[in-house]
Structure 1
Amino acid sequence: MPENNNLPKQLKDIPLSVLDLAPIIEGGTPSDALENSVDLAQHAEKWGYNRYWVAEHHNMPSIASSATSVVIGHVAGETSTIRVGSGGIMLPNHSPLIIAEQFGTLESLYPGRIDLGLGRAPGTDQRTAQALRGRFGRNAEDFPDQVAELRGYFDPDLGTAPRGVRAFPGEGLDIPIWLLGSSGFSAQMAGELGLPFSFASHFSPNNTLPALELYRRHFKPSNILDEPYAMLGVNVIVAESDEKAEFLASSLQQAFLNLIRNTPTKLQPPVENVDSLMSAYEKAALEQQLGGAVVGSPETVKEKLGKFVADTKADELIVTAQIYNHDDRLRSFELLSELAK
């Protein structure tokens, strides 16, 4: 990981990574989505992206990565060098022992290539969270204890696994653990534990700078990191022109619009005038969540993303692009990779 310093950072100075939500498009199937994920990962590896993460979501007809560990194994098996991991595993949905065994298995199969990003949100609605966790399941308040237990399965000196309970595979393996967040809780916790931190700027842009300030202020050097390391999630859609990029971005806007309305659907085709589909209130709500999206031609994106990197002093960017047509999605990531050279 590159060293932190106080000099202004530029886009070419930091690694770029991919956050894949394995979009299931209108007219497509989960099988299509997962095939596209492998194809994108293989291209991302060729284009020089640093890591490829998939996210845990449930009860969402537009996302095929609910069995996140399974998808990670499949993507890692179809690539050679790119790091593959979770952005993230929603730990309150799981037993820490199960996650230690799953990621211990992944690391054993693909040594030196697996990342374990952990979140404390359910990745779904409350009813589905209850179905996942059972009647006596854990919740977000248990997250620090769960992280400590999980870390203890990999290294007893770093965590607090139950006496006599060990993870095989898992114990003794060096699997990077990241904390993920969209507010200040995980930012402060990551800092105090000396862990790398990834912030969800792609849907919580207004909290980005406060969370980074918390993380860096509370950071304590550890045997993992000497200095803070922050990776920021960003919606980036690049096309040959601003107009085409904005057209492609309407699929992302429709997806958030349907979430606001509690009517989730598969990822919809782009439309010419997305504003006509929403009320003023809905438009304001979308701006609140998607206001940090970087959309445009290569020149536009380079300028906006460069300013974002300079303002945040990000150590790495992890980019997501909910684009309906797979070829357009590939082209967006290809154009972005060229901007960083």
Structure 2
Amino acid sequence: MGSFLVTFLITMAVVLPCALGVGFYWRATHPADSTDPASAAQSLGAGGSADTSSEPENSPEPAALTVDLSGLNSREGILLERGGGTLGEVNADETIYPASLTKMMTVLLAAEAFDNLDAPVTLGDDLFGPLWAANASMAGFEPGETVTVRDLLYGALLPSGAECCAAIAVELDGSEEAFALRMNRRAQELGMENTHFVNATGLQDAQHVSTVGDLALLLDAALDSPTFREVFTAQRYSTQPTNLHPDGITVSSSVFSLMQDADLGGMTLLGGKTGFTDEAGLCLATLAGADGEEYILVTAGAPGQSHTDTAHVQDAAAVYRRLSRALED
């Protein structure tokens, strides 16, 4: 019995310290797992706090820029930021007669189709009779005059020359009716779902319709064309000498003329196109800029006559002042 007791005591003296050592080693090398819900709850319950210093702070989203288009003379209107979205609208999808805003499509198609802008084009005598009868706006070219494609583009947009648009249509497709098919194909490609063209000029026709939303879409796409943009933003242009104008002729932008004294707030007018028929009212498409950004405004259906009233210009000035204030806020 004595020897057994001695053996037992010696064994315990060796085993017990080893067991205690293993336990201390395990606890030292395996701290409580912070991802364990029970451990985390126990830690927080003991007065600990979770470390959130590495988490990004959630800053509030800036308010979307909007501009109120109520109270205008125009029945329809839309304001876009180029490369952005719609900032304001009123009746943007209502069917309208686009009048001479149609000529933006005519010039875009010419800019896309003609490789040589200095190519000669002769304006046929038969183009002029219907245009004179309709009292269409003209650039000043005459029957039988030979001009360049470039002359026609500037003549179509700046003074809204109907003879230039008719000449483009005939030169490209042989007739205005055939050219209208080209116009409608391009309109569909651009997503102008509520538009149907029957002529190149915008002269009144019950089947010649659009919306300010579609026309803004057209202008936004057209401005991607360097040729269209150059013409649309020009204030004046002088042709080279022609067979009927030895000194050439100079045409000026009706938009810059109408809006030269308009108060646009902090905005700068970059270009535009006017339109008018008795049925369409006063229409206006403009491009303006501020702080490196560009904005498109299209309005239609303002009351008045093209040579005496400026309700559409007043609307543009009012909207751009509102936009300027919104950008400052």
Q: TM-score range by the shorter chain?
A: under 0.3
TM-score by length of 2: 0.27
TM-score normalised by structure 1 residue count: 0.26
Q: Which has the higher helix share?
A: 1
Asked which structure has the greater CA Rg, the reply is 2
